[in-house]
Amino acid sequence: MEPDTEPASRYAVRAGSRFPPGATVMPGGVNFCVFCRHATSVELLLYATPDSPEPFQTVTLTSEHNRAFFYWHVFVENLPAHICYTWRVDGPHDAQRTGLPSDARRELLDPFARAVSDVLWKRRTAIESPQTRHAGHRAIVSEPAQSAPRARTARSLEDAVIYELHVGGFTRDPSSGVRHPGTFGGLIEKIPYLLRLGVTHVELLPVMAFDEQDVPPAAAARGLVNYWGYSTHSFYSPHPRYCTDPTRAAAEFRALTDALHRAGIRVLLDVVFNHTSEAGEAGPVINFKGFANDIFYQHDPCDVRRYLDYTGCGNTVNCNHPLVTAYIVHCLEYWVEEMGVDGFRFDLASVFVRDRHGKLMDDPPLPWAIESSRILSRVPLIAEAWDAAGLYHVGAFPGLAWAEWNGRYRDVIRRFVRGDPGIIGEVATCIAGSADLYADDGRLPTNSVNFVTCHDGFTLHDLVSYNGKHNEANGEENRDGSNDNLSWNCGAEGETDDAGIVQLRGRQARNLMAILLLSQGVPMILAGDEVLRSQRGNNNCYCQDNALSWFDWRLQEHAAGMLRFVRELIALRKRHASLRRRRFLTGRPAHGHAMPDVTWHGERLHEPGWHERGARLIAWTLGGEERDEAPLHVILNMDDAARRVALAPLEGRCWHRIVDTARDSPYDIVPSPREAATEHEHCQVEARSVVVLEG
Whether residue 184 contacts residue 144, with contact meaning beta carbons closer than 8 Å, is answered with: no
Which helix (DSSP H) or strand (DSSP E) does residue 140 occupy?
Answer: strand 138-140
Provide the pLDDT for residue 101: 53
Provide the pLDDT for residue 626: 82
**Which of 449, 444, 487 lies closest to 469 in space, CA to CA?**
487
| AA identity, residue 134 | H
| AA identity, residue 619 | A
Whether residue 691 contacts residue 603, with contact meaning beta carbons closer than 8 Å, is answered with: no
DSSP 3-state assignment of 447? Answer: helix
Provide the pLDDT for residue 1: 46
Cα-based distances in Å from 400 to 329, 567, 584, 599, 658 = 17, 33, 17, 30, 38
Domain architecture of the chain: domains with CATH: 586-694 (2.60.40.1180)
DSSP H helices, 99-211, are: 123-128, 167-171, 184-189, 191-197
Question: Mind telling me the catalytic residues?
Answer: 347, 384
DSSP 3-state assignment of 125? Answer: helix
Give strand pairing partners of 591: none
CA 183 to chain CA mean position, Å: 17
Q: How far apart are CA 616 and CA 322, in angstroms?
A: 51
Provide the pLDDT for residue 152: 58
Q: With a cut of 50, list the residues of the chain below it in pLDDT.
A: 1
CB contact burial 55-78 (16+ within 10 A = b; e otherwise): bbbebebeeeebbeebbbbbbbee
pLDDT digits (tens, 9 = 90+) for 18-37: 999 999 999 999 999 999 99
Q: How far apart are CA 135 and CA 107, in angstroms?
A: 8
pLDDT digits (tens, 9 = 90+) for 447-495: 999 999 999 999 999 999 999 999 999 999 999 999 999 999 999 999 9
